[in-house]
Amino acid sequence: MVLHDPESANAGKVTAMARKGMLLVLMQPPAHLEEEYNDWYDTEHLADRLSAPGFETGQRYVSAGGGPRTYIAVYDLADVHVLETPEYRKLSGSSFTPWTKRLMRRIRRYRMLTEQIFPGDAISQSCSYLFLTRFSGLSKTDESAVIGAVETSFTRQPQVIQSRVFAEEKDGATNYLVLVGGCAPVEHAMTVENLGRRVAGSADLAISLVPHRIGMTWERSIEEG
């Protein structure tokens, strides 16, 4: 969220008020639950989340290639405090629906609540492919290295539609999440040369994904003004 102050000496400049948030949920349903899992997410869970104030978009992706499938849901948030609202609390934790409680006990889940640090307040665009990578256990001082590597690695790829960087403060360290969307598969071009050896060595997740049910993007429109 940004504020433009036309009356000040800094007219035209953007003052940061609160960074956009992003909630990413990664789940790996076992094969015998996969069909029910998708029914639950598509018909109940996603719509419930998008009904909460501050949830701006919600998109689902599934890992490309063979092997057990990994699903991720990407939610753009007005800011990270959206998950502290009474409306969201009514949908989470002890307030989960019976269907949600049953599946949550049976499916592995990983969740990241992050702030968007690049580029500004952009939200998710519809993409045919998504590349995700994570760098863990770093510090705030590594922010510029990660952003610089993203700009160097992806802006010149003609198939790239959007690249974003997010930060999560956890256990005294900073984890960085990079999401790159494209109209065709995106080349993983981040290297030791453009990241630095220490940052490159912190990478612990890299996955290529495609939209779940291609052609169906769940989004809630944001009213202007």
Tell me what pLDDT residue 43 has.
92
Question: Beta partners for 54?
Answer: none
| Unique residue bearing structure tokens 């969307």 | 181
Considering the domain boundaries, does residue 56 fall inside one?
A: yes
**How would residue 15 be classed by pLDDT, with cut points 50, 70 and 90?**
very low
Identify the domain containing residue 175 by its residue range: 2-211
Q: What span, in angstroms and rounded, lies between the C-alpha atoms of 138 and 170?
A: 10
Considering the domain boundaries, does residue 219 fall inside one?
A: no
Considering the domain boundaries, does residue 37 fall inside one?
A: yes
DSSP string, 68-96: S--EEEEEEESSGGGGGSHHHHTTSGGG-
Considering the domain boundaries, does residue 216 fall inside one?
A: no
Considering the domain boundaries, does residue 225 fall inside one?
A: no
Could you report the per-residue pLDDT of 75-108, keeping only the tens digit for each?
Answer: 999 999 999 999 999 999 999 999 999 999 999 9
Considering the domain boundaries, does residue 49 fall inside one?
A: yes
Could you report the per-residue pLDDT of 110-125, keeping only the tens digit for each?
Answer: 999 999 999 988 999 9
Joined together, the tokens standing for residue 174 give 């900073």
Q: What span, in angstroms and rounded, lies between the C-alpha atoms of 151 and 132?
A: 15
Considering the domain boundaries, does residue 223 fall inside one?
A: no
What are the angstrom distances between the C-alpha of 89 and each of 49, 81, 84, 206?
11, 12, 7, 31
In CATH, what number is assigned to the domain containing residue 61?
3.30.70.100
**How would residue 172 be classed by pLDDT, with cut points 50, 70 and 90?**
very high
**How would residue 17 be classed by pLDDT, with cut points 50, 70 and 90?**
low
pLDDT at residue 12 tops 90: no
Q: How many separate domains does the chain show?
A: 1
Question: Does residue 117 or residue 12 have the better pLDDT?
Answer: 117
Tell me what pLDDT residue 13 has.
35
Q: Are the C-beta atoms of 17 and 3 separated by less than 8 Å?
A: yes
**How would residue 218 be classed by pLDDT, with cut points 50, 70 and 90?**
very low
Considering the domain boundaries, does residue 20 fall inside one?
A: yes
pTM of the model as a whole:
0.84
**Average pLDDT score, the chain:** 87
